[in-house]
Amino acid sequence: MLANTKAFISPLMHLLNEMRADGHDVSAPWDEFIAMREALISADKALEKIYMEALQVNFRGPVGRGSTGEKNE
């Protein structure tokens, strides 16, 4: 959810934009916000990949076993 920049509007981003518009220097917190957002996006992609691989393993069944449950060699 947080990593989906189209579906999630960040209250922090909104606040930083308001403060910038009021003349405050928000460069340091803005950089930290961007770094955290990029980390969340990266983690979201990694977790999605793990999830998809887990689904494939569950769909195929145990590796190295035939339909009778005997070990393939």
70/6: higher pLDDT? 6
Average pLDDT over residues 15-27: 97
pTM: 0.63
Question: Which structural domain range is residue 47 located in?
Answer: 11-59
- Give dist(CA 44, CA 48) in Å, integer: 6
Residue 25 belongs to some domain of the structure = yes
Residue 51 belongs to some domain of the structure = yes
Residue 23 belongs to some domain of the structure = yes
Residue 52 belongs to some domain of the structure = yes
pLDDT at 35 over 90: yes
Residue 5 belongs to some domain of the structure = no
Give the alpha-carbon dihedral of 17, 34, 7, 16, to 10 degrees: -20
- Name the domain count of the chain: 1
pLDDT at 52 over 70: yes
